[in-house]
Structure 1
Amino acid sequence: MKTALILGINGNFGLEMALALSKAGWSIKALVRDPNKVPSFVEAKLIVGDALKQQQVMVAAQGVDLIVYALNPPYHRWQQQALPLLEPCLQVAEQLGLRVLFPGNVYNFNPQASLIDENQAMHPPSEKGQVRVKMEQRLKQASENGAKVTIVRAGDFIGPHTHLSWVSTMVKHRKSRYQVAFPHNQEHVHFWSYLPDLCANTVQLLEQSQADFEVWHDPGLALSRKDWQQAFASNGTNIKSTNLAWWGFSIIAPFVPMLKEVLKMRYLWQQPVILDGSKMRQALQKSYQSTPLSQVLQQLKLN
């Protein structure tokens, strides 16, 4: 039985990867500061420790086949904390020759009309994108120093266990219907990734032979307002569509550092950044898992 060490099991990606790996027969270990915060439905051996301390990561990583890196510093502290948080994991992976699974995102790329594949040059238009590029450069370096790296790049997460997600911001239950406050106009197409599909597909990729440094793009869900409206309608759900009050964010942002950073990324709701997932589809063929949005909505715990 293979074993995976999850760093960040309480996060959206870490939790769903733990569930997907466990379902596929993997044994799960997790390095956590507070074991009481790990959901009871997750089967994992919990090790109390700090992922910033290399020696504690080293102890937790003994006997594992994979490290899932799912840590994220507070959104407004990426510039200061993202790279230092990643470093202990990579040094352990280099020393033990382990593969690291890293969730990439679309921040690395300029918006463009065409689909973005794994060979696209990275020209991040934001500070956060610059941080993510530096993280991936460090991952590439680690793959040349004894570690192995798999990057699975995705869009905004949708999932039944997600928290602090855009979907929870957008969708609110009001009496007998749902109100959906869209952060974008009618024409814009936004890129999403349904976590159960993403993680199930990732587990299948991990079972295949991979290069020491491998990048995969999730085919994901490219959705317009109309796609959301049709998906709700197909489930017989009555919704009221409104516009997200970005102006409210602007008023509060000077006093809330996280919202200030969110506003800097608003371009993602105005210009397309859509991944090309052909490589993943071709690798998985008929075993590729993709859930229609109407079914996704049935799985979500909407307010």
Structure 2
Amino acid sequence: MTSTALILGATGGFGSETAQALHRHGWQIRALHRNPKRAAKQTADMPFIDWVKGDAMNAEDVRAAAVSADIIVHAVNPPGYRNWAGTVVPMIDNTIAAAKAAGVRILLPGTVYNYGPDTFPLLAETSPQNPQTRKGKIRAEMERRLHEASKEGVSVLILRAGDFFGGRNAGNNWFGQGLVKPGKPVRSVTYPGPHHIGHAWAYLPDMAETAALLLMRANELSTFESFHFGGHWLEQGIEMADAIRYAARKPDLPVKRLPWFALTMLSPFVETFREMREMRYLWKKPVKLDNSKLTAFLGHEPHTPLDVAVRATLSELRCIDVADPRTTAPANAAFTKGTI
């Protein structure tokens, strides 16, 4: 019988890519949204989604949507980091309650927010979670509740990764909100951290395919399972700016520093800036995810070359026109890293 996935947050980055990946692997996709007609327009390229009216903040809506599903993909987050304290924990509680009632597994995309500097620079699944920020404490609390639920029979899968980029909804992340300006040609690249500090990036189509492959072998997973997704580890973090300049066919584009001082000054008035500022510590030190457990289990990790992934991301953000031959890399083009 065909498996069914209920996706909370299907119009977001991880949610939409996971819907696409699971559909490729033969799953039926159901998604919850307060306005199904608007959601269907937002995801017109995914007509296979069965949209159900409901709100992730409403426990009964989530429970009803989860009936006859095989998994709940909990990929819902307040946009722009807004009101995490008031929404994130209630939503995971609703998902846990629905999973208990329906007897289904929960898939959560994990973050590195859960960890403090005591675990840097290499994060393993067994690394202690000692978060230093508000969002980190909230994320750690989410996972604590999931772990407790697993003791009561709820199967949980966490796939953790670094900063997201790419996919059909490429803008709600550091790449789309900080490094470039969506909808505008690339005239400069803004980089948030010291150029020599390594940084981990997760190309969402690769991460979603990894989630789908893990779920194809769900019968081999324990009740509470966690994997780290390696993604694109850039030993010199500024290599991402190089990749953007290469993809835009503008090797001399200026690279600017993120104006952290301005974000600090404006943070009392702009919630998104305040929450971005809280994550600055993740740009000051290298934070790499150890994916050895994942590769041992799957045999490999899906991996799109960085130049291809960045070019596709810039195209999705409408920063380049891939039909323009000046922005399309020849098949044998060399990619030089770390040239800044």
Normalised TM-score (structure 2): 0.83
Single out whichever of 235-244 and 157-166 deviates more from structure 2: 235-244
| Alignment partner, residue 163 of structure 1 | 171
Alignment of 1:227 onto 2:239: yes
Q: 1:189 Cα deviation (Å)?
A: 1.2
Within 5 Å, which residues of 2 pair with 1:22-61? 22-35=23-36, 36-37=38-39, 38-42=42-46, 43-61=48-66
Distance of aligned partners of 1:258 and 1:229 in 2 relative to their CA distance in 1, 3 Å threshold: closer
Tell me the distance in 2 between the aligned counterparts of 1:32 and 1:174.
26
Are the aligned partners of 1:219 and 1:281 in contact in 2 as well (CA < 8 Å)? no
Q: 1:237 Cα deviation (Å)?
A: 3.7
Distance of aligned partners of 1:175 and 1:97 in 2 relative to their CA distance in 1, 3 Å threshold: closer
Distance of aligned partners of 1:176 and 1:252 in 2 relative to their CA distance in 1, 3 Å threshold: closer
Secondary structure of residue in 2 paired with 1:107: coil
Match of 1:218 among 207, 217, 229: 229
**Superposed CA RMSD:** 2.0
| Alignment partner, residue 130 of structure 1 | 137
Tell me the distance in 2 between the aligned counterparts of 1:292 and 1:86.
34
Tell me the distance in 2 between the aligned counterparts of 1:199 and 1:218.
10
Secondary structure of residue in 1 paired with 2:23: helix
Alignment of 1:143 onto 2:145: no
Alignment of 1:297 onto 2:310: yes
Distance of aligned partners of 1:176 and 1:108 in 2 relative to their CA distance in 1, 3 Å threshold: closer
Tell me the distance in 1 between the aligned counterparts of 2:185 and 2:271.
35
Are the aligned partners of 2:63 and 2:101 in contact in 1 as well (CA < 8 Å)? no
Tell me the distance in 2 between the aligned counterparts of 1:9 and 1:158.
16
Structure 1 residue runs of 5 or longer lacking an equivalent are: none
Single out whichever of 156-165 and 187-196 deviates more from structure 2: 156-165
Match of 1:90 among 90, 96, 103: 96
Within 5 Å, which residues of 2 pair with 1:126-275? 126-161=133-168, 162-168=170-176, 169-172=178-181, 178-208=187-217, 209-223=220-234, 224-232=236-244, 235=247, 236-238=249-251, 239-275=253-289
* Equivalent AA in structure 2 for residue 165 of structure 1: N
Q: 1:225 Cα deviation (Å)?
A: 4.0
Report how many aligned residue pairs link the two structures.
Answer: 302
Identity %: 36
Tell me the distance in 1 between the aligned counterparts of 2:6 and 2:183.
41
Secondary structure of residue in 2 paired with 1:106: coil
| Alignment partner, residue 78 of structure 2 | 73
Are the aligned partners of 1:159 and 1:196 in contact in 2 as well (CA < 8 Å)? yes
Distance of aligned partners of 1:104 and 1:93 in 2 relative to their CA distance in 1, 3 Å threshold: same
Tell me the distance in 2 between the aligned counterparts of 1:152 and 1:89.
17
Are the aligned partners of 2:189 and 2:241 in contact in 1 as well (CA < 8 Å)? no
Are the aligned partners of 2:243 and 2:307 in contact in 1 as well (CA < 8 Å)? yes
* Equivalent AA in structure 1 for residue 171 of structure 2: H
Distance of aligned partners of 1:76 and 1:45 in 2 relative to their CA distance in 1, 3 Å threshold: closer
Distance of aligned partners of 1:180 and 1:3 in 2 relative to their CA distance in 1, 3 Å threshold: same
Normalised TM-score (structure 1): 0.93
Tell me the distance in 1 between the aligned counterparts of 2:5 and 2:179.
34
